[in-house]
Amino acid sequence: MSVQFPDYLLNQYQAANNAAATSRLSAASLEPLTLQMMMEYATEEELAQWHGLSLQYADERGSVELRSLISSQYPGLEADNILLFSGATEALFCAFNATVTAGNTVVAITPAYEPLLAIPKALGAQVKAITLHKSGGPLTTDSGREAHGSWQFPVDELQNHLQGGVDQLVINFPHNPSGAHINKATQSSIVEFALSANAWLFSDEVFRGLEHDAQHQLPPIASLYARGISLGSVAKPHGLGGVRIGWLACQNKEVLQRALTIKRSLSICPAITDEWLATVALRNSKKLIAASQLLLSKHIDLIENSVSALGGRLNWLSPQAGCVAFPEIGDSIDVGQLAEKLLTDRGIMIIPGNCFPSLYQNHFRLGYGLKNFPDVWTNFVDYLLRY
């Protein structure tokens, strides 16, 4: 069967509206680092390597040095359990092509980063959604501060899918677009479920490292389960979307070999300059992430301080990780119309919920990782109050 390449709603929406946008309130990224900053983080030796870099094809698997560095994040795995790609997007495309066949049943989390559902579907799988729930709501705590609801993974619902068989379970924590995260007990139940179904467990972990409380970082799925595949990337936790280095980590080397075969028809190998940049970023990851965490926490405070003034216009659900949230627009306001008018009137782009497959349509992705967030947010709040 021929694969139909999905035309993602998110990309279509961005392509149609980018030109009109002067600021973005839905970016799933941190403020990008500059080349100059990366040079400042590099050691003398790394700088000498950079200047003498031979601009040849890289190793098709990615350099052993970089794969070893990455494998240190995966207990029990080594360089040969890691395969590099030109971005996480290519990695997930190759992973699904290597593990999904027509007629398979794939259970996937929603709301979702669209390719996580669309690619298995394009490969002929039957895709069944498992949908995050909303729990809690506005209430006042002892400290007088408002506590907000959050998103929860409905682990009890997994069992409903066992009958009839599951070939692959697709999860994404920390989650885009909601910023939800799971705890260790839920992660263990997910792994047990995959084990009992003998299913592949594809875990999109590109936001790993951006847990708002560092203690909530989970072990990667690839370290926990023989048929677990972890998707990782240097982009999201570091503000390096333009450094196209993503990877798959997996105990099963056969599946990595199949993914590599597919990659030979795509990028072939990572860019050698990107490998250097990714190496410097990963060696300085702790420092880089600590600075971002500070910014994210300030931005969340800013949001939470405006929520009560917005009343029913914004139903805020607190994120636990990453740099995005997925609030609901209330008071009978249509999010699609709001997005359109906000762009026309204030040049601010928000991405409506229909770009993220789920039941939750009247929501939008709120990105709070960029440096100009305070100004854009203030502008947005002002607009929503007058809307």
Ligand X SMILES: Cc1ncc(COP(=O)(O)O)c(C=O)c1O
**Interface positions with ligand X (CB under 6 A):** 28, 87-89, 113, 172, 176, 204, 206, 233, 235, 241, 246
21, 14 Cβ separation under 8 angstroms: no
- Cis? peptide before 32, omega within 30° of 0: no
272, 66 Cβ separation under 8 angstroms: no
Closest contact distance (angstroms) between CB of 352 and ligand X is: 16
Closest contact distance (angstroms) between CB of 316 and ligand X is: 21
- Would you state the structure tokens that stand for residue 334, as one six-digit string? 């249509």
Question: Angle at the Cα of 23 (from 20 to 25), degrees rounded to 5?
Answer: 115
Beta carbon nearer to ligand X, 203 or 251: 203
Closest contact distance (angstroms) between CB of 103 and ligand X is: 25
210 three-state secondary structure: coil
221, 228 Cβ separation under 8 angstroms: yes
Q: How far is CA 57 from CA 43, 65, 269, 333, in A?
A: 24, 16, 7, 52
Beta carbon nearer to ligand X, 108 or 307: 108
Closest contact distance (angstroms) between CB of 158 and ligand X is: 20
84 CB contacts (<8 Å, ≥6 apart)?
61, 62, 66, 67, 70, 245, 246, 247, 270, 275
Closest contact distance (angstroms) between CB of 233 and ligand X is: 5
Q: Within 10 A of 154 (CB to CB), how many other CB atoms are there? A: 14
Beta carbon nearer to ligand X, 240 or 381: 240
Beta carbon nearer to ligand X, 212 or 346: 212
Closest contact distance (angstroms) between CB of 73 and ligand X is: 17
Beta carbon nearer to ligand X, 104 or 172: 172
Beta carbon nearer to ligand X, 177 or 327: 177
